[in-house]
Structure formats: structure tokens, C-alpha cells
Amino acid sequence: MGGDFGPDIVVPAAALAFEQLGDHVRFLFYGDRARIDAVMNGFPALRRVSDIHHTDKVIPNDEKPSVALRTGKDSSMRLAIEAVKSGAADSVVSAGNTGALMATAKLLLRCLPGINRPAIASVFPTMKQETVMLDLGANLTCDAEILVQFALMGAVYARVVKGISHPSVGLLNVGTEEMKGPEYVRAAAAILGEVEFPGTFYGFVEGDDIPHGTVDVVVTDGFTGNVALKVAEGVGDLTGAFIKDAFQSSLLARLGGLLAIQALKKAKSRIDPRYYNGGMFLGLNGICVKSHGGMDAYGFSRAIMVAANLVSQGYNRRVAHEIEQLMEQETFFSGIAQQVVNPA
Amino acid sequence: MGGDFGPDIVVPAAALAFEQLGDHVRFLFYGDRARIDAVMNGFPALRRVSDIHHTDKVIPNDEKPSVALRTGKDSSMRLAIEAVKSGAADSVVSAGNTGALMATAKLLLRCLPGINRPAIASVFPTMKQETVMLDLGANLTCDAEILVQFALMGAVYARVVKGISHPSVGLLNVGTEEMKGPEYVRAAAAILGEVEFPGTFYGFVEGDDIPHGTVDVVVTDGFTGNVALKVAEGVGDLTGAFIKDAFQSSLLARLGGLLAIQALKKAKSRIDPRYYNGGMFLGLNGICVKSHGGMDAYGFSRAIMVAANLVSQGYNRRVAHEIEQLMEQETFFSGIAQQVVNPA
């Protein structure tokens, strides 16, 4: 029921995902049966692999997470997350209220053993390969240990879902030299430089390294990650607007634009936010993916594909295994962090 | 002597600035006399308004700020800053080591009365008017009061240098609702919503609001601001590369690109980093501007123009006046901040 369009988008999106995922997938829809049913009429094949669970209750987009937790019982969002908890579903995908989704998922699913906080991760286009970035806003402030856990979760994603055997992991900072940056970032770097984790620690990266594709995984706190993501979106809008202006600035430019229009559309598709839709809530004891609220059916289907990928690759099992390995080194890495914070 | 090219860039840049500033400007050059002299030979008009102060010592680009402070005596950078301190110069412009420049300027010039920390500010192109953003990396972590001082410094810049009578000031955050964000950001918002300062407090803005031009001044901590700035640069590179690829992808696109080339160049010039070069160190008892190290003469001349503007508009006098006004309201606003941090 979430997002700007509810079932009008979610049902066709499921049909698109079904086309790609094939017969082994099933969909559980939670929300207003009449509305869902009406859209489903256009997709008879999807209906055969779908169950609709009716509820009147919906968590509004502007509801505070704390209120959603108190009053959200029987809401479509909560019921969908409960389906993951009970094992009825392998994953949940929602275009609803991000804060409420995170709070409810955290409460019901809990974190994986050894993970202190879940993170929101997403995949971005770059000048080289795609890059995974986290956290995009679940944890506004982080300490060194949390950043190390994020590095692990991001590295496992790159390894099992993207198939990169030795993903490089960079810590976002204001410079690449060892002495640069806040204490908690330097402490995280010291730990990642010493422990074994499922990636290669690259060191510090700066903001421009994200679009340049310097590393496979960029790790940062949720405040910085959220700002970075939105700055990137906004600069995309800005350059798009300037280029559009340019092609309308003269007759010659207009003609040039017409000739190049197919090529330009292809360039635009390389940074299509619909293709990259799907914020993964990593570190929970269950798979939960957030779609942008304004997405169309294709965009939402991409978020479903992210969830399906995490499920089929056994992402959580792998993270649980890796965090166990890391925790065996914990005494060691706590010592390192201490040295950074209080150098001898 | 700083930056990638030293006098080869700095001297021609001064000549360009001289053309615009006219006869009331004078230049003091600090560094290797022979190298400066050699370049100066090409600019006889500039020579008539210039003094060269010889020194052999240069602070390397990779020197730690603490080392630069200890060993930087008689360096070109230090001597130039001392000229501001002694009143021999109204401002200093450098393309050298940013950390060393900030540390030395802070030590020698000190902060303006009532300002606790200087900030690095710069001006950015947006979809509307240009936007001032600070801090870009001088203070990695900030508290509410520091952010309020940044808001004041940014607002005075927009007012006196850009001529905006009621500049709108936004606080960078992860959402626009009142309850969003870390405590120190919410506390700063509460203060700015109540006190009188030389701008209009817009509220929270998000990362995409920077390129969208939602407000005249964007205020954030130095860690986030530095990342945001570099992400924006990197995304500019990325979209540029994708568009270049597009125009090379087919014969038709190549022809289109040729026809539109003038218009596209104009679009590119609207985000020309050389035009926007010049990081202002605001809040010091003296004007200090940092040029990007890789700039050409035109880019460096823009940084000189920033410094000249700050001087001619009496920026520091205005900030000192406004901070005094703000401090008279201090007891009041400390109370507000307290309420946000410890709500009843």
C-alpha cells in the first residue's frame, strides 16, 4: 500500500519480476484486497502465484517511526514483515515510510547475531564497476566497530550477490592520508587494516571516489551516506538541466540534439534511478528492501529483484558466518581501536 | 610557491586579477625571487604594482599541519599570512597545503571575537542562484553553537558579497521534518528558528537541495561538507564521461555532437570549477582564501577575486558586528539548545 501509488505500481511490478524470476517465486500482497484485486485482473499469470492478505490499516508516509511502532499493528507494512518473521515469506519489499519500515523490521526481525545495527545499502553506477554504498541513513552516527560491521556486510554483498571474489572496501573520509579524519573513522581503518574480513581493505576514499568507482564497497555513517546519495541525485538533475538548456539554446544545437537523441537516451539510462532502485536493509534477521516511494512499476520490480537476489544467494547466512569469524578476532581488534583513540 | 605550478600560475593569475581590479590593488609575492621574477618579465604592468619578498622556504604539499606550524617559519606561506597580520596586506591567497594554511592562519590571525572556529566556504552553481556552502572541511565535527556561527558567517557573505538582502539559510540534514537528524543539527535548527541573525532560517535541507539551489546558504559540519563537495565534483565527472561516450557511440551521435559543440561548451562552462575556485576561510581575523592546487591562471585569478571581494565589502567588520548582536541573545539561545538535547 506504500509509496505514491500503492497497488497500482506494486502489482504490475510483481508481474515484471515474475517474468524474470520464473515459476519458483510466490508473492504475498498485504493491503486493501479490493484495490489489489482490481489491478491483479490485468495479470492472470501473476494471480496464480499470489496470495492477497486483506487489511484496512496503512502506515501513512509521514507517520513518526515511534508512532508507527505503537499503532501499526495489523497494518499492511507490519503484516508483511511478520510474514518474514514467521517464515511465510523469504523477504519483504515496501515503498512505504522508510523510518517506520526500518523501526518495525528491527523490532520484529532483530539484528543478525553479532551485528549491532542494520544499515541501508544500495548499488550505484560509477565510471568503472558498480559500487555498493552503506549506510545510507539507518544510523546517523556510528562508532568504529559499527563501521567495521558495515564493511563486512558490504563486502559479503559484493562477494555473494555481485560475484566479486575479493571486493575492495573503502572508508569514506576527507582525505586519504592515515592521519586524516575523525577518530572513529581512523579507528575503523586501523581495525580493517589488521583483521581478516571478506574483502580487501583499500583504505580511505573521498567523495569523488564514489562516482569514480575506486572501490567495490564504500562504507560511511548514515548521515554522510544519505547526504552523499542525495547530492549525487541532485547533481545529476543539475547537469541534466544544463544539458537540456544547451540543446535548446540554438537551432544548430537543437538539430545536433535530434541527431544524438538515441545516444543521449542511452547515456541517461546508465544513471537511471529506476534501475538502481532498492535500498537493502542489511544486518537484519530477514531480508527487507525499500523501494523509493515515487517509483514506477519497472523501478519497483528492480527492488523486488534485489530482494530475490539476496534470498537466492543466501546473503544472511553468509553474513552470519563472516561476523562469527570476525568476532573471534574481537579482542584483538578492540585493542587496535583503543590504540588509535588513545595513542601511546 | 604552492599548488602544482607555483609562480608559473600565481603571477599570470595576479595579472588577470589586476586587469579586473584596476589601479587600487597591490600584490605582494612571497617565494623564490628568481622564479617569480622570471615569470613577471611577461607582465610589466603587474610588476609596477607588485613587491617580491624572497624566501627559500616552502611548505610541502604533504606536510602535516602540526609540522608546518613548528618548522614553517620564514616559509612563503607563513610570511604571506604574517603580512595580513601586520596589516601590510589585506588578504592572503594560496594554492598550497590546505591543512597547513588553515593551521597557520588560525595561529597567526586568530578567530574573530565571538567566533569559536573558522570555516571553509565556497560558492556553487545550482539550478537557481549560486549557493554558499560551509564548512567544507575545517571542522570535522561541530556542535550546535558552531553551526549557528557558520550560519551567521554564511549569511553575512550572501548579504554583503552577493548582495542578497535576506539570504535564506538551510541546515543540511537527512530529512526536512523537525524530528529528523542528529541532536546537534536539531539543536542548531531550534536556535536559528528563534534568534535574530542576518538571514532567514529556511529549516533543514537535504543533499539534493544544494544543486537544486533551494537556499542561498547551506550549513553543515566539515566532514559532511567536504564529502558533499567531492561527490558533486565526481558526479560531474561521471555524467561528463557518460555524455562523451554517448557522442562517440555512433556516426549520427558524433555529427550531433559537432553541431551542438558550442552549446555544450557553454553548458560545461556553467559548472566550470575554475570559475568557482576559491575556498574562503571565514571567521578569521583577516581574509584568507585557498585556491585548488591544480588550478590554471584563470582559476587562481578567481580565488584572488574572492579575496578582493571579501576585503572591499568589509566582510570581517560585518561578521564581527553580527556576532556581537548574536552574543547578546546568547543566554536565550543556550536555553533553547538545552531543551532540544534534553526535552522536558
Q: A135 preceded by cis ω (within 30°)?
A: yes
C-alpha dihedral (A177, A178, A183, A189), degrees to nearest 10: 110
Q: By percentage, how much of chain A surpasses pLDDT 90?
A: 83
B239-259 pLDDT tens trace: 999 999 999 999 999 999 999
pLDDT on residue B344: 42
CB pairs under 8 A between A and B: 206
Question: Is the CATH code 3.40.718.10 the one for domain A123-273+320-341?
Answer: yes
Q: What is the CA radius of gyration of chain B?
A: 21
3-state DSSP assignment of residue A343: coil
Q: Is the pLDDT of residue B20 over 70?
A: yes
Asked if residue A141 lies in contact with residue A190, where contact means CB atoms within 8 angstroms, the answer is: no
How many CB atoms within 10 Å of residue B203? 17
Q: Give the single-character DSSP code of B24.
A: G
Cα atoms in the Cβ-side hemisphere of radius 13 Å centred on B295: 31
CB contact under 8 A, A234 and B210: yes
Task: Out of 3.40.718.10, 3.90.1150.10, 3.90.320.10, 3.20.20.140, select the CATH number for domain A7-116+278-311.
Answer: 3.40.718.10
For A178, residues 6+ apart whose C-beta sits below 8 A from its C-beta are A186, A189
On the question of pLDDT at A341 being above 80, the answer is no
Contacts (Cβ under 8 Å, ≥6 apart) of A84 = A90, A91, A92, A108, A109, A286, A287, A288
By Cβ distance, the residue of B62, B179, B247 closest to A260 is B247
Contact A260 B241 (CB under 8 A): no
> Where on the phi/psi map is residue A267: left (φ > 0), alpha (ψ -120 to 50), or beta?
alpha
Disruptive mutation site among B230, B262, B266, B275 for chain A (greatest number of A CBs within 10 Å): B230
**Which of the pair, B330 or A179, is modelled with greater confidence?**
A179
Distance CA A155, CA B139 (A): 30
- Give the residue on A whose Cα is nearest the Cα of B262: A253
pLDDT in tens, B280-318: 999 999 999 999 999 999 999 999 999 999 999 999 999
- In the structure, how many helices (H) and strands (E) does chain B have? 15, 10
Contact A233 B172 (CB under 8 A): no
Q: Which of B99, B120, B52 is closest to B288 using CA atoms?
A: B120
What are the extents of the domains in chain B? Answer: 1-109
| Residue-level pLDDT at A335 | 59
Query: Tens digits of per-residue pLDDT, A285-335?
Result: 999 999 999 999 999 999 999 999 999 999 999 999 988 888 888 655 665
Chain A residue with Cα closest to B249: A263
Residue B102 pLDDT greater than 90, yes or no: yes
Reported pTM: 0.93
Q: Do domains A7-116+278-311 and A123-273+320-341 have the same CATH topology?
A: yes
pLDDT at B67: 94
Q: What is the mean pLDDT of chain B?
A: 93
Q: Using CA atoms, how far apart are residues B177 and A110, in angstroms rounded to an integer? A: 27
Residue in A229, A228, A187, A222 with CA at minimum distance from that of residue A204: A187
CB within 8 Å: A256 and B255: yes
- pLDDT score of B184: 94
Q: How confident is the model at residue B111 (pLDDT cuts 50, 70, 90)?
A: very high
Mean pLDDT, chain A, rounded, equals 93
Instruction: Please give the pLDDT value at position A179.
Output: 82
**What's the confidence (pLDDT) of residue A62?**
87
Using only C-alpha atoms, what is the Rg of chain A? 21
Above 70 in pLDDT, residue A98?
yes
A211–B267 C-beta distance less than 8 A: no
Q: How far apart are CA A201 and CA A218, in angstroms?
A: 10
- Chain B residues inside the 8 Å CB shell of A140: 174, 181-182
B127 and A226 in contact by Cβ < 8 A?
no
Q: Output the CA–CA distances (angstroms, integers) from residue A122 to A125, A188, A217, B342, in the order listed.
A: 10, 21, 10, 34
Contact B64 A253 (CB under 8 A): no
Q: Is the pLDDT assigned to residue B22 strictly greater than 60?
A: yes
Q: How far is CA B202 from CA A237, A304, B125, in A?
A: 22, 37, 19
Which among B137, B211, B260 has the least Cβ separation from residue A235? Answer: B211
A180-203 per-position pLDDT tens digit? 899 999 999 999 998 888 999 999
Residue A344: what pLDDT? 42
Average pLDDT value for residue range B69-96: 96
Q: How confident is the model at residue A88 (pLDDT cuts 50, 70, 90)?
A: very high
Does the pLDDT of residue A129 top 90, yes or no?
yes
Determine whether the interchain pair B253/A270 forms a contact, defined as Cβ–Cβ distance below 8 Å.
no
Please, how many CA atoms are within 13 Å of residue A151, restricted to the half-sphere of its CB? 32
Q: Which tens digit of pLDDT belongs to each residue from A237-289?
A: 999 999 999 999 999 999 999 999 999 898 888 888 899 999 999 999 999 99
CA B58 to chain centre: 23
Q: Give contacts of A222 with chain B, Cβ < 8 Å.
A: 174
| pLDDT value of residue B222 | 96
In the predicted structure, residue B59 carries a pLDDT above the cut 80: yes
Which of A136, A223, A250, A275 should be substituted to probe chain B, the one whose Cβ sees the most B Cβ atoms within 10 Å?
A223
